[in-house]
Structure 1
Amino acid sequence: MQEMDRASWEARAAAHAARVDAFVRPHLARREARVKHPVHDFLFTYYSQRPAQLRRWHPGYGVRLLDAPEYASLKGYADGAVTPAYVESQRPLLAALLRLLRATAGRPANLGCFGMHEWAMVYRISEDRTRHPDWPLRLGPAGTDAVVESHRIACSHFDAYRFFTPAAAPLNTLAPAAHDRADFEQPGCLHAGMDLYKHAFRLTPMVDSDLVAECFELAWDIRVLDMRAAPYDLADLGLVPVEVETAAGKAEYAEAQRGFAERGAPLRTRLIEECERLLAVANEGRSALLAETPAT
């Protein structure tokens, strides 16, 4: 167990808080003012990790923080460190995430969806019923519907597909479900890239918060592209649209997808390695417990 003195871990914690505050503070100010942002609020409203949780730094399993009473009451901690018992309790999560991450990493990136998932979420509904009713559709309802109808829809991500309108859902050539994500996820998918942040914070406090922050920053940049390619007119927010209904827009989108897939690959690898490391700890604890259990 590596030990870290208070001066060292306080500096790391402060640096982490400052890093994420560039994103957290504007969100909290908007929330206080009751102003919604269709792009920048997403990571705080769609995902379950709260801003205060994102700001809290953790060293990850294997590090003991000295003189750290602030951590005494936190989930999974005892005597300044994440306990082996807590890691063992997370075995089902670790195994499920490892399976999903390995399956995703093992597939080639599919760059042919062109962001049609956002268009399918507004297909054949009025503008006041969209997920962002304060923002008009760039091509209007009829123009948006025509784009959907003229494209092959191939969304592999369940958490995007589940928001398709009833009219759009049958148009998808795939049928991902909540129970079979590992059968469909692929690294070119923008939502699979954003979900690296979700996977990282679900592993908190067992992984270093630097990894969580890197996944968050990737998700932030992906979300900007996601909404630039969406059917909404967000010009008032300074977002130049990626016109995926055109050949030039498709090329721009696919190139950005490729860049995000390449940027996400080492983060996915690090998450896989962390799951493997933590599962080894969990399995070692389970073996020790079984060895101590008297035979009946």
Structure 2
Amino acid sequence: MVYQLSPEEIRHSKFPLRIGSAGTNALVEEIGVRCTHYDAFRFFTAPAIPLNVIHPVREDQPKNEQPGCIHANMDLYKWAYKLAPIIPSSMVFAYFQNARALREIDMRASPYDLANIGYEPILMETAEGRAEYARIQKNLAHQTAPLRAEFANYIRRVLETFTSSAQ
């Protein structure tokens, strides 16, 4: 989040902002912010926090998770990697590939101009760009649903195995 940051405060300052600081600030103020993902929300600037429709906290994460949220879907890889001793490497790799594709979308929708490194922007400052992003999110929810179900079912089976062997 770069809302109301000075150029010196911008984290990835080697990349210019596509519509500049003033344009980015105006866009955030015009369309608002609707982030439900706790980990993404932690990176909000102080002035952006009150602009978000909710204030996610870790305890509410299961309730707030959205199936089309890029960050929630990238978390699938994070948890598979952390549980790698019990998660097959083929699943971890599939989730990594999914997270990599999701990260590309996240970068394309960011305020940074990344075209010089091969990422064509999703123009969030236009109605067409926001509609494109919404379509992408909807597709992501459908594409990632089987992976999320696979992961949940696998963890459920592992827990059942440990529970039954402990008795």
When normalised by structure 2's length, the TM-score is 0.96
Matched, 1:214 2:94: yes
Shift of residue 245 of structure 1?
Answer: 1.2
In structure 1, what residue type is equivalent to 2:62? A
Taking the aligned partners of 1:142 and 1:207, their CA distance within structure 2 comes to 46
Shift of residue 270 of structure 1?
Answer: 0.5
Shift of residue 179 of structure 1?
Answer: 2.3
* Residue of structure 2 in register with 1:267 after alignment: 147
Gaps of 5+ in 2: none
Of the three residues 124, 129, 136, the one matched with 2:16 is 136
* Residue of structure 2 in register with 1:60 after alignment: none
Of the three residues 150, 165, 183, the one matched with 2:63 is 183
* Residue of structure 1 in register with 2:165 after alignment: 285
Of the three residues 128, 152, 162, the one matched with 2:32 is 152
Matched, 1:240 2:120: yes
CA RMSD in angstroms, aligned pairs only: 1.1
Shift of residue 176 of structure 1?
Answer: 1.0
* Residue of structure 2 in register with 1:67 after alignment: none
Taking the aligned partners of 2:68 and 2:99, their CA distance within structure 1 comes to 13
- Percent identical: 46
Higher helix share: 2
Larger Rg: 1
Taking the aligned partners of 2:11 and 2:158, their CA distance within structure 1 comes to 38
Equivalent residues in 2 for 1:162-181 (5 A)? 162-181=42-61
* Residue of structure 2 in register with 1:196 after alignment: 76
Taking the aligned partners of 2:8 and 2:19, their CA distance within structure 1 comes to 15
Taking the aligned partners of 1:177 and 1:162, their CA distance within structure 2 comes to 9
Other structure's SS at 1:150 match: helix
In structure 2, what residue type is equivalent to 1:227? M
Shift of residue 174 of structure 1?
Answer: 0.8
Shift of residue 180 of structure 1?
Answer: 2.1
Q: How many residues align?
A: 167
Shift of residue 235 of structure 1?
Answer: 1.7
Taking the aligned partners of 1:179 and 1:267, their CA distance within structure 2 comes to 24
Shift of residue 209 of structure 1?
Answer: 0.9
Gaps of 5+ in 1: 1-120, 288-296
Q: Is the 8 A contact 1:194 1:222 kept in 2?
A: yes
Equivalent residues in 2 for 1:81-96 (5 A)? none
When normalised by structure 1's length, the TM-score is 0.55
In structure 1, what residue type is equivalent to 2:166? R
Q: Deviations over 1:195-234 (max 9, x none)?
A: 1101211221112111111111111011111111110011
Q: Deviations over 1:13-64 (max 9, x none)?
A: xxxxxxxxxxxxxxxxxxxxxxxxxxxxxxxxxxxxxxxxxxxxxxxxxxxx
Q: Is the 8 A contact 1:229 1:241 kept in 2?
A: yes
Q: Deviations over 1:256-293 (max 9, x none)?
A: 11221111100000111111101111212332xxxxxx
Matched, 1:276 2:156: yes
